[in-house]
Structure formats: structure tokens, C-alpha cells
């Protein structure tokens, strides 16, 4: 087994719904069992948010969405699944019972992950007949955007199971980290618990409000943590002498009475009401779903920024996203479908996402160029200029662009682009793209591009090989019979 072919999710709450969305958007069929009467609605809302987030996250071609099936029984859900994810409430007796049921009916080679945030896998697998295939797969919310999964084995978990679980996560855009020894709350939640405990004391003692505390995190070290974590951040803080100097300089501070990490605050009614009231004020009337959408848009922006880190190689979670996108291009970006020579090529289908609009609710100028660039990329993949071709050192570079704005693309609007090849020679490719309103077919914008075939390693234009030119010329010859599109060769200020 090299990937996840079919998944089963037992429990469809916040975490379970996130797992379902992650699997579905990776093209994996998912069977779900959740006895909650509104499970279908809850999961549907999570999936809707995930799809909006992915539309902003990547322009790479996602596989066809997997099939979602709600099952009446747990046995029906896990039948045939090769990855089963349990995400029921955090009670040992409940989880142990559910996992025992899964163990009794699952396929012999199925992997069984638990979304527990703190229970030990050894305790969870105690009564299982096949405990070697049980492991903790602890994700972070929202599961469909945050890529980390803590993989923790119990005393009876096999090394082969851990290896298989780690290998199956990158193809769905996730990063597994193997926690070497099982420990309550694992690594992430232990760090969060320490910060949370100190934060509660700061609110209890009226040092600050919940909004002030959140501002301290999000305007300072939270930004550093998002891309370098804790230890690498402190390595830099040590200056040229590095981590050893930092530890020598600030190590003595650990003995100072700064924190109350070992002293538990009393969450009495008064403190709960204080935190609740301040949290309500901070939310300023925004609903949970609105806050989730804002969170997702912010996370997408951070991930996109990290994707361009380290000189374009990607950094941290951004590098993972970059690698994931490249795998999507390899799998779905090289499809050479047949085309109707009597029409322009229809190459890109999309919607105007929230991240694409300006203060008027219209698609911003640079997003038009993005869609037209995606159209050129789709054409190039169609003729064989794919990821492998580019990695081998050759590509087409755009050397001239002219865009005309004819209409308006608005938030949520379905749009698509078409491509005409106007001319081609050994080095040059002259194309004309049109962006359409999918509902009406009307032209919203056009773009005329001149592309030049280059040897990217040598940094100069070179003739394209025959294997590429033959495909391009075949399309160009078909398009030569079409009426020339209105707007070809126009320049700024030219009279109509």
C-alpha cells in the first residue's frame, strides 16, 4: 500500500470534520459514522470552509473530490478502509470501546489512528486483538489547513505501523512527526498547557485582559514561532555565538520567580465569568463560523508567505505546501486531453475567492494576471512543458503582456478562461486568453502574451524541441481557421 485509497472517520465533530475535509480534498473516498443527529450539517459546514480555504491556498490542480458517505453503523463505515481515524470525545472508556469495535471489524492491514490530544496509546490499545496497528494521530485545528500530525505509538504498536502512517501523510499535504516516547499530552499540548496556565494567572491577577494577552502573542513571538519555532528563534537571539551563548546568558533566568507554571489557578465561577465576558468583547459580535473563516484566510496568507521563504525554496510549513503543490502538478497537471479545434481551448475553471477581492468586492488587478498566468501554464502542460520538463532546465518565459479589462469579476463568481494560439515559431509562442463569466459566457477580460522558450540554466532563449513544437503547431494550425479575436494587437489609448 503506497497511499490512502479509502478512509473511514468515526466521529464528525470539529476534529473529525477536519479529517474528513482533508481526506476528501485529497481525492480520497470517506465513509463516516457519527450518531449525532446533525452530523451531516456540521460536517458539511466544515467541508464548505475547507473548500473556500483551498481555493485561496493553491492554484495547483486538486484531484476530483472524494466521495462522502454517511453510514448507519460503525462496521459499515470501516469496511474496506485502509486508514481509520477515530475522533470521538476525549474519554478513555469511550475511546477504548470504539477502538475495540473498530479493531473487531476492520480489514487486517488497516491503520487505526486516534485523534486523542492526551490519552496514551498503550491505554487505548489495551483490549484490542490487533494492538500493533493502533497509534495516536494527533492533528491541530483546522485539520484541513494545519499540516502537523503527532504520531505516537504504544507499547504494542509495531514499527511497521509507525512507518506506514508517516509515509501516508505527505501525499495529503500533512507532516507527521514521530514522538519517540509516549507521554501524556505528547509535545504540542504540553507546550500549549504551559502557556495556557501562565495566561490564566495573568488574567486572574488583572495583569492584562484576554485581548491584550492575545495581542502580545500575535504581534510578537507568535509571528516568529509560525516560521522558526522556539529553539531556532532563540538560536538567533544568541547572536553570532548561537545557542550556547543564549543558554549561558539567559539560563539563570529559569530560577527566577517569574512564572507560576507549577501553580494551578482556581477556575472558579468569577474567573470563568471574567474570561467569558472579556472574550465576548474581543469577538465584537463575530460568530464562530465568521471567526473560523477569518482564521482560515489568515492561515492561508501565512502559509503562502512561507512558501516563498528561503529565496523561493519555501520555509517550514510553506516548504511543505510547495512540495505538496508540486506533487499535485505531477499527478494532475500533465493531463493531455483532446480538444475541439473549432473552439479556443478552455483551460482554467475557478471562482473569485475572498482573498482575490478589493474594497469594492471586485477581483483585484493582479488576480487577473494570476488567472491568465495559470492559463498559460495549463497550455504549456498540455503540450508537454510540465514539472519534469522545467526541472530538466527548459521552459517558456513570458516576455510581454497586454491585459484589457472589459467587465467585473465579483466575489464568489464562477469564471473560466480560454486560450487561442495566434502564432508559433522555434522560440516564440504568441497567445490570446479570454476570461469569461461562466454563467453568461460574457468576456470579462482578455490578455495577449508573448512567450519565449529558454534554457533556464544558461539564461538565454533557445529553440524548443520538436516534441513540444509539434504539439503547439497542431493547435496553432487548428486555431488559424478561427476568426481573429477582437482586441488582438491593441495598445493603451488606441481608438476602437
pLDDT tens figures, 155-170: 999 999 999 999 999 9
Rounded to whole angstroms, the Cα distance separating 147 from 432 reads: 38
Lowest-pLDDT range of 74-78, 137-141, 236-240, 279-283: 236-240
Average pLDDT over residues 354-367: 85
Instruction: Give the domain ranges of the chain.
Output: 6-178, 193-285, 336-479
pTM: 0.80
Lowest-pLDDT range of 39-43, 98-102, 291-295: 291-295
pLDDT at 253: 82
User: Beta-strand (E) ranges in 154-227?
Assistant: 175-178
CA nearest to 376, candidates 396, 356, 400: 396
Q: Does the structure show a pLDDT above 80 at 340? A: no
Q: Does the structure show a pLDDT above 60 at 338? A: no
Rounded to whole angstroms, the Cα distance separating 304 from 56 reads: 9
Asked if 122 and 135 touch (Cβ cutoff 8 Å), the reply is no
In CATH terms, the superfamily for domain 336-479 is Hotdog Thioesterase (3.10.129.10)
309 annotated as belonging to a binding site for a ligand: no
Name 9's bridge partners. Answer: 32, 85
16 annotated as belonging to a binding site for a ligand: yes
- Strands 148-153 and 134-139 come out as antiparallel
Lowest-pLDDT range of 77-81, 107-111, 490-494: 490-494
Phi and psi at residue 419, to the nearest 5°:
-135, 135
My answer on whether omega of the bond before 142 falls inside 30° of 0, hence cis, is yes
407 annotated as belonging to a binding site for a ligand: no
Lowest-pLDDT range of 166-175, 176-185, 221-230, 258-267: 258-267
207-248 pLDDT, tens digit per residue, is 999 999 999 999 999 999 999 999 999 898 888 888 988 888
Asked if 197 and 273 touch (Cβ cutoff 8 Å), the reply is no
13 annotated as belonging to a binding site for a ligand: yes
Sign of CA dihedral 306, 310, 312, 314: negative
Buried b (16+ CB within 10 A) or exposed e, 58-69: bbbbbeebbebe
- Fold identical between 6-178 and 336-479? no
487 annotated as belonging to a binding site for a ligand: no
As a whole number of angstroms, the longest Cα–Cα distance in the chain is: 82
If phi > 0 it is left, if psi is from -120 to 50 it is alpha, else beta; for residue 26 that is alpha
Averaged confidence pLDDT in the chain: 92
In CATH terms, the superfamily for domain 6-178 is NAD(P)-binding Rossmann-like Domain (3.40.50.720)
Alpha-carbon dihedral of residues 355, 30, 143, 46, nearest 10 degrees?
50
362-410 pLDDT, tens digit per residue, is 999 999 999 999 899 989 988 999 888 998 999 999 999 999 999 999 9
Q: Does the structure show a pLDDT above 70 at 259? A: yes
pLDDT at 360: 85
pLDDT at 332: 66
pLDDT at 140: 96
Which positions ≥6 away from 125 have C-beta within 8 Å? 99, 131, 134, 154, 155, 156, 157
Rounded to whole angstroms, the Cα distance separating 178 from 181 reads: 9
12 annotated as belonging to a binding site for a ligand: yes
97-113 pLDDT, tens digit per residue, is 999 999 999 999 999 99
pLDDT at 2: 61
The CA–CA distances, whole Å, from 475 to 335, 384, 395, 430, 454 equal 16, 13, 19, 12, 21
Helices and strands in the chain, H and E counts:
17, 14
- Taking the CA of residue 406 as centre, how many other CA atoms within 13 Å lie in the half-sphere pointing to its CB? 15
pLDDT at 261: 78
Rounded to whole angstroms, the Cα distance separating 318 from 312 reads: 10
Q: Give domain 193-285's CATH number out of 3.90.79.10, 3.30.1380.10, 1.10.1040.10, 3.50.50.60.
A: 1.10.1040.10
Amino acid at each position: 500500500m503506497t497511499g490512502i485509497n479509502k478512509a473511514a472517520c468515526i466521529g464528525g465533530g470539529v476534529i473529525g470534520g477536519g479529517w474528513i475535509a482533508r481526506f476528501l480534498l485529497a481525492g480520497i473516498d470517506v465513509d463516516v459514522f457519527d450518531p449525532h443527529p446533525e452530523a451531516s450539517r456540521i460536517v458539511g459546514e466544515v467541508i464548505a470552509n475547507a473548500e473556500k480555504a483551498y481555493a485561496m491556498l493553491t492554484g495547483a490542480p486538486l484531484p476530483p473530490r472524494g466521495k462522502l458517505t454517511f453510514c448507519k453503523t460503525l462496521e459499515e463505515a470501516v469496511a474496506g478502509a485502509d486508514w481509520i481515524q477515530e475522533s470521538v470525545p476525549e474519554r478513555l472508556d469511550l475511546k477504548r470501546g470504539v477502538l475495540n469495535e473498530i479493531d473487531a471489524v476492520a480489514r487486517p492491514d488497516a491503520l487505526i489512528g486516534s485523534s486523542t490530544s492526551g490519552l496514551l496509546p498503550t491505554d487505548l490499545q489495551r483490549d484490542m486483538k490487533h494492538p500493533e496497528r493502533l497509534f495516536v494521530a494527533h492533528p491541530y485545528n483546522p485539520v484541513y489547513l494545519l499540516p502537523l500530525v503527532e504520531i505516537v505509538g504504544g507499547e504494542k504498536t509495531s514499527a511497521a505501523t509507525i512507518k506506514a502512517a508517516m509515509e501516508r501523510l505527505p501525499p495529503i499535504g500533512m507532516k507527521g512527526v514521530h514522538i519517540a516516547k509516549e507521554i501524556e499530552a505528547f509535545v504540542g499540548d504540553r507546550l500549549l498547557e504551559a502557556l495556557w496556565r501562565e495566561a490564566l494567572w495573568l488574567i486572574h491577577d488583572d495583569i492584562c485582559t484576554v485581548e491584550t494577552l492575545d495581542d502580545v502573542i500575535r504581534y510578537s513571538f507568535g509571528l516568529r514561532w509560525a516560521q522558526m519555532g522556539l529553539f531556532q528563534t532563540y538560536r538567533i537571539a544568541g547572536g553570532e555565538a548561537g545557542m550556547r551563548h543564549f543558554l549561558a546568558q539567559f539560563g539563570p533566568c529559569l530560577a527566577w520567580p517569574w512564572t507560576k507554571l507549577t501553580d494551578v489557578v482556581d477556575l472558579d465561577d468569577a474567573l470563568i465569568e471574567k474570561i467569558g465576558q472579556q472574550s465576548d468583547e474581543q469577538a465584537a459580535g463575530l460568530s464562530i463560523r465568521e471567526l473560523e473563516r477569518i482564521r482560515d484566510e489568515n492561515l492561508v496568507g501565512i502559509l503562502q508567505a512561507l512558501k516563498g521563504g528561503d529565496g523561493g525554496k519555501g520555509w517550514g510549513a510553506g516548504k511543505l505546501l510547495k512540495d505538496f503543490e508540486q506533487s499535485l502538478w505531477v499527478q494532475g497537471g500533465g493531463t493531455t486531453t483532446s480538444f475541439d479545434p473549432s473552439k479556443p481551448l478552455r483551460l482554467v475553471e475557478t471562482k473569485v475567492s475572498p482573498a482575490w477581492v478589493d474594497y469594492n468586492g471586485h477581483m483585484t488587478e493582479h488576480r487577473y494576471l494570476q488567472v491568465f498566468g495559470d492559463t498559460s501554464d495549463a497550455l504549456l502542460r498540455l503540450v508537454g512543458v510540465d514539472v519534469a520538463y522545467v526541472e530538466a532546465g527548459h521552459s517558456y518565459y513570458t516576455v510581454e503582456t497586454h491585459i484589457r479589462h472589459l467587465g467585473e469579476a465579483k466575489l464568489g463568481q464562477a469564471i473560466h478562461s480560454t486560450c487561442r494560439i495566434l502564432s508559433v515559431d522555434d522560440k516564440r509562442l504568441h497567445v490570446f486568453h479570454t476570461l469569461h463569466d461562466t454563467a453568461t459566457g460574457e468576456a470579462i477580460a482578455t490578455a495577449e502574451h508573448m512567450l519565449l522558450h529558454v534554457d533556464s540554466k544558461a539564461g538565454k532563449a533557445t529553440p524548443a524541441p520538436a516534441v513540444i513544437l509539434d504539439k503547439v503547431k497542431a493547435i496553432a494550425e487548428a486555431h488559424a481557421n478561427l476568426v481573429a479575436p477582437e482586441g488582438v494587437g491593441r495598445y493603451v489609448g488606441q481608438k476602437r
